[in-house]
Amino acid sequence: MSNQQFHGIISLGLVAAAIVIAATAIFWISWPWAVVYLLIIAAAPTAILYAFCAKCPCRETCGHILPGMAAKLFSRQPGPYSSTELIVVGVSLLLLLGFPQFWLWQYPGWFIVFWLLNLTALTQIRSAVCKGCDNVYCPVNRRKI
């Protein structure tokens, strides 16, 4: 396992742990809103996989491994991302991270842990996973075509 893959797996685990914390906080306060968040948890990663990962030319060597394998299920040709695709990714991330904020705020410790986990994951992604990625179409890739 490469350093990029190690950090890719760890960063996904950190984000997953943060999402579990958020879902738990919502369930403790309002199970109907928790069900809405569970739907977001199901839809948002699927939207990201389709709009972003499935167009990545590095699916075979993805540092995150699992999204790379899942992206192969969508038969899309690698290429530049459209504005719509980038908006879908942004909105999906915003929903995953932003939606639970009201409920997390009710539990300050969980709020802090949620953001520490996500910021740690982001740091790993930017410092280790992105460095080894050759997706020249990615808007944050420093090695453009």
- Answer whether residue 49 is part of any domain: yes
- Answer whether residue 26 is part of any domain: yes
- Answer whether residue 10 is part of any domain: yes
Total structural domains in the chain?
Answer: 1
Per-block average pLDDT, block size 10, for the chain (145 residues)? 89 97 97 98 96 91 88 89 97 98 96 98 92 87 63
- Answer whether residue 137 is part of any domain: no
pTM for this prediction = 0.90
- Answer whether residue 63 is part of any domain: yes
Residue 93 parent element (H or E): helix 83-98
Sequence-ordered list of residues with C-beta below 8 angstroms from that of 117, at least 6 positions apart, any chain: 14, 15, 17, 18, 21
Q: What is the pLDDT of residues 86-126, one digit of tens each?
A: 999 999 999 999 999 999 999 999 999 999 999 999 999 99
- Answer whether residue 138 is part of any domain: no
- Answer whether residue 144 is part of any domain: no
- Answer whether residue 140 is part of any domain: no
Instruction: Give yes or no for a contact between 104 and 110, defined as CB atoms under 8 angstroms apart.
Output: yes
Domain extent, residue 116, equals 3-132
- Mean residue pLDDT across the chain: 93
